[in-house]
Amino acid sequence: MNGEPEVHEEFEARLKAYEGRPAAATGVGRDPVNEPMIRHWCEAMGDTNPAYTGPDAVAPPTMLQAWTMAGLSRRPERTAAYDELLGLLDESGHDAVVATDCEQEYLRPLRPGDEITFDSVIESVSGRKTTKLGTGYFVTTRTDIRAGGELAGTHRFRILKYAPAHRPKAPDAPKERRPRPVVNRDNAGFWEGVARHELLIQRCTGCGTLRFPWLPGCNSCGCPEWDTVEAGGEGTVYSYVVMHHPPFPAFTASDHAAAAAGPFAVGLIELAEGVRIISNVVGVPYDKVRVGMPVRLCFRQYDDELVLPVFREVTR
């Protein structure tokens, strides 16, 4: 036991030695920055900013990573150094992984025709951290994106490599509560409406544009003034994903008409009013959810404090 701190220090020194080494081979964007991809992105995000159209268009800054993606047919080549680092963590028992967050920094706008190159390095490996998932290490990679050789932006991606904490619950342990939504001054009115079983959509009083999620100002005209309209509740599944892992005890089989907790469908619902909201599709097996499926808003009480808007299939 007396030597345990020294063992950890030696192991962490081995991990730190990988900082600054390449994480992936230098890459070239599969396509130049181009108007069709910008248009598809803006349509998917519902972003109507005029800066992204016309002869002087720029790409949305948040598309930064899109220009570096390899596509479904191939993956960027990881370096031996990055594989060695992950292998070292696996061998030490830190063989579970979860992505924790990403950060982006924008240095210059990207314009149609820009040729993209990028390279990735292992920027940092943290000291040992204890989390609810288990004890492990945060590994951060940094990708520098260049246009015409000039640095245009930086994308940092962070994962936690950890040894899972095994905490079996007693058979009579209470069911875990749903995670609490983040309520702030910009969206408090929305959650107050949900508590009253009302789904409120912001409406700009300057140009009349409806928007969701709630924002402090209008994306279309910049006006900070707004009021609300109540959604009628009709909608369709615009898109969806099926969540398989990691399992989470708060999301139970009864929520999703499944035989066991998870997988479950998370839908991007287009309301009849024209805005979109992310929510669960309930009362139907995850593998029966389809794009274009008609759904209707309902409100579900999860505990004494929490009400959430969800959507149920409309059967005809």
pLDDT for position 244: 80
- Which phi and psi angles does 268 have, rounded to 5°? -100, 105
Q: What's residue 251's pLDDT?
A: 67
Return averaged pLDDT per consecutive 10 residues of the chain, 316 residues in all. 63 95 90 95 88 94 91 69 94 92 94 95 95 92 95 95 74 62 90 95 95 90 93 95 75 48 84 95 90 95 88 86
Enumerate the β-bridge partners of residue 297. 311
d(CA 216, CA 264): 32
User: What's the pLDDT at 171?
Assistant: 54
pTM of the entire predicted model = 0.58
For 8, residues 6+ apart whose C-beta sits below 8 A from its C-beta are 128
Whole-number pLDDT of residue 222 = 87
305: left (phi over 0), alpha (psi -120 to 50) or beta: alpha
Length of the chain: 316
Tokens of 273: 């009013």
The predicted structure's pLDDT at residue 253: 46
The neighbour count for residue 108, using CB atoms within 10 Å, is 15
